[in-house]
Amino acid sequence: MARKLHPDVRKLLDEISAHRARNNLDRTKFGILAANDGHLIPRLQSGRLPRLTTIDKVRAYMSSGKTK
């Protein structure tokens, strides 16, 4: 049975997905660039709650416009 995601994690994953699609990034590359964690997305998808500092890093990366 799939684990139900916290609504805030679901929202973050949706934002990440849109950013990845716009910038043609695979999930490992995104995690490394955004939070220095190549397993970030699978961990979030498995139901793990991120730290607020991680959320801040991810959102700062996405708003920076950087793709490399």
Query: Which whole number is the average pLDDT over 5-33?
Result: 97
Q: What percent of the chain has pLDDT over 90?
A: 88
Q: Containing H/E element for 33?
A: helix 27-35
Please report which confidence band the pLDDT of residue 45 belongs to, taking 50, 70 and 90 as the band edges: very high
Is the pLDDT score of 68 beyond 90? no
pLDDT recorded at residue 53 = 97
CA 9 to each of CA 18, 47, 68: distance values in angstroms, whole numbers, following the listed order? 14, 8, 24
The single-letter DSSP state of residue 6 is P
Integer Cα distance of 16 and 31 in angstroms:
10
**How many C-beta neighbours within 10 Å does residue 65 have?**
7
